[in-house]
Amino acid sequence: MKEETRERGTHRRGVLRATGGLAAAIAAATSGGALAACGAPAKEAIGTATRPLKMAFVPSSDSQKVLSSGKPIGELLEKETSYNVGVSVPTSYVAVVEAMGSNQIDVGWLAPFSYAVAHKRYGVDVILSTVRSGSKSYPWQLIVHADSGIRKPEDLKGKRFAFGDPLSTSSYLYPAAYIKEKLNTDPEKFFSQIQFAGGHDKVVVAVYNKQVDGGATYGPSVGQPESDARSRVVSTLPDVMKQVVRILEADQIPNDTVSVRKGLPKDVMEKVKAGLLKIAASDEGKKHLKALYSIDGLSAASDADYAPLRKKSELLKLDLEVAAGIKPAPTATKGP
């Protein structure tokens, strides 16, 4: 996954707050046998036909492609855990976060920034990190059209620019923080127009078609200089590597996560974690993980691994409740 699709021209999102208080009380009573004593039905176990384990993938590229790669992983997880597993690709990164916050999704393959928001707001916990070319981190990049005349980040001043998703680490958080830190201004003032294209592949296409002058996406994996977001659209745009060029590659971002919602039973979490690690070590699993988000493996992870993202958020004075959609966000505006 390098992060990843919804068409959206403005920075807006709406999120439903979790309403888990009553549910938690009921669950506690159930576990203690109180409801059973009153003749009320016990809470249904996770992983059954009527209450499957629900696993969601962020739409970092075309949703149908992500879904077609995610379904086989769900099927393999069913074999490893004996759980019934439901797989989905919600409409946006924030949709996955909100679904985990309201207990509609049990396991989410979250981009790093999405995870940071979900952890702070909803108590979501990371259990695994993705690995690519032996690394648990990756860079972000700025891209422009080859004939744009733009050669360095400063040349983008007053230009039209595309980020991917407001909860994308490499196509929003880190490049926005770079503009603030290195160019000493806010993105809204630096660019003449900002749009959120909805995913890394859509940013590349927008630059290729000259709908924008520049964009931000994830960069190449270690030892794989052409493994960046442009590779996602080579099948439809064969000359994209020549027509869309990189003018900056920066930072090392903690890789994307496999995370679980707050309150997921520990035995379920441990079984899912062990199952996914076994899948990642198998030949079939490796094939599907590669197709999914160019993943080579999975590794244990902790919340401390994602502290650098919080520092970037602080630099931008980013309100994580806005990022999570709890409060309305300002729309992108034209600079002077």
Where do the domains of the chain lie, and which CATH numbers do they carry?
42-134+255-310 (3.40.190.10), 137-254 (3.40.190.10)
Rounded alpha-carbon distances, angstroms, from residue 75 to 44, 68, 79, 168, 274: 21, 12, 7, 27, 15
Predicted structure pTM score: 0.73
* Gap between the Cα atoms of 217 and 162, Å rounded: 9
Sheet holding 137-145, edge to edge: 193-196, 160-163, 214-218, 137-145, 244-254
**pLDDT above 90 covers what percent of the chain?**
71
What is the distance between the alpha carbons of residues 178 and 237, in angstroms, rounded to a whole number?
A: 29
pLDDT band for 24, please (50, 70, 90 cuts): very low
Among the residue ranges 34-38, 44-48, 51-55, 279-283, the one predicted with the least confidence is 34-38
Residue 113's pLDDT band (boundaries 50, 70, 90)?
A: confident
Is residue 108 scored above 80 in pLDDT?
yes
- Residue of 187 and 34 predicted with greater confidence: 187
| Mean pLDDT of the region 279-297 | 95
Q: Which residue has better confidence, 41 or 283?
A: 283
Q: What is the pLDDT at residue 335?
A: 36
Does the structure show a pLDDT above 70 at 321? no
- Residues 85-96: what's their mean pLDDT? 94
pLDDT of 4: 40
Q: Length of the chain, please?
A: 336
- Give dist(CA 221, CA 140) in Å, integer: 10
Q: State the pLDDT at residue 136.
A: 93
Pairing verdict, β 85-88 and 53-57: parallel
176 pLDDT tier (thresholds 50, 70, 90)? very high
If you average pLDDT over residues 218-237, what whole number do you get? Answer: 88
Q: What is the mean pLDDT of the chain?
A: 86
Which pLDDT score is estimated for 35? 39
Q: What is the pLDDT of residue 33?
A: 43
Provide the pairing of β-strand 214-218 with 160-163.
parallel
CA atoms within 13 A on the CB side of 255: 27
